Amino acid sequence: MKKSVLLGGLFAATCFAVTANTASADMLDDIIASGTLRCAVVLDFPPMGMRDANNNPEGFDVDYCNDLAKALGVKAEIVETPFPERIPALMGGRVDVGVASTSDTLERAKTVGFSIPYYAFENAVVGNDKAGMKTWEDMKGKTVGATAGTYEAIWMEGKIKEWGTGEFRPYQTQADVFLALSQGQIEATVSTVEVAEANVKSGKFPGIAIVDKAPMVPDYVGLFTMRQEYGLINYLNLFVNQQVRTGRYAELYKKWVGEGKPADLSISGVYR
């Protein structure tokens, strides 16, 4: 009798220990245990994400993911994810973290959990030469376009609604936007200064030029993961902080974007 009680107790304790152990394992634990960090990266968004001549992923976001994996002591796996598929990829468990230049809007933060900003974009208006634009306000009444689902697309669509004139067209890829702009299908687009300069310089899209800076609040982008994974989000926040602190942020900026100072990621006058 006594023995069986003892055995039963032991058995129950073991069960409890096992379940307790699995219950407490969060995503951070899972990543460390699996030995692989899977990052969603958009590879149609130079210089943040693209492919080199051998079709291997490269860019700021790719390096950022590699750094994060190194910090965690695991292997990095880049999962190519077009802009609209970032959330399905995360929710379906195909990726652990998004390193995908994702603007941290309040609307989106209701669905996913964002880290503190790890990069900030300034945006430029790029016009077709035939449209004869001088300032960003010349976009009024024009047919404009941008990559669907991006911060600048949301901003432009809002402007068009505010002006009550003109037309907005979202395209699926950045390449399609610039093709349409070069063909004159759209007369202007707004994209990050980095992307705009790269595309104008590439010579692949004749007849376009940077017109003006877009008067937008800098587009702060954060890493993202499951909203409830506080442990991981905490780690991501510290990681972003360390990247800036150690000078790696400036180093990556110089490597992928060019000379000059990367954007300030802090906002004066408020805590985050």
**Chain contacts with another protein (rule: CB under 8 A):** 83-84, 87-88, 91-93, 107-108, 110-112, 145, 148-150, 153-154, 157, 167-172, 176, 179-180, 183-186, 226, 228
Measured between alpha carbons, how far is residue 220 from residues 30, 105, 136, 217 in Å? 28, 9, 21, 9
Nearer CB in complex with another protein: 68/112: 112
Q: At its nearest, how many Å lie between another protein and the CB of residue 185?
A: 5
Tell me how crowded residue 82 is: count the other CB atoms within 10 A of its CB.
18
CB of residue 258 vs another protein: minimum separation in angstroms? Answer: 28
Kindly tell me which of 131 and 148 has the beta carbon lying closer to another protein.
148
Strands 36-41 and 75-80, sheet pairing: parallel
Compute the least distance from the CB of residue 108 to another protein, in Å. Answer: 4
Closer to another protein by Cβ: residue 79 or 257: 79
Closest CA to 238 of 230, 255, 40, 228: 230
Question: Which residue, 126 or 180, has its beta carbon nearer to another protein?
Answer: 180
Sign of CA dihedral 64, 66, 70, 75: positive
Contact 88, 110 (CB under 8 A): no
Q: What does the angle CA 195 – CA 199 – CA 200 come to, to the nearest 5 degrees? A: 115
C-beta of 149 vs 166, nearer to another protein: 149
Q: How far is the CB of 189 from another protein (least distance, A)?
A: 11
Minimum distance between the CB of residue 27 and another protein, rounded to whole angstroms?
10
Q: Which of 121, 119, 179 is nearest to 147 (CA)?
A: 179
Instruction: Kindly state the smallest distance separating residue 83's Cβ from another protein, in Å.
Output: 7
* Largest Cα–Cα separation, the chain: 94
| Cβ-based nearer residue to another protein, 225 or 243 | 225
Handedness of CA 151, 218, 161, 111 (dihedral sign): positive
Please list the residues that pair with 77 across neighbouring strands.
Answer: 38
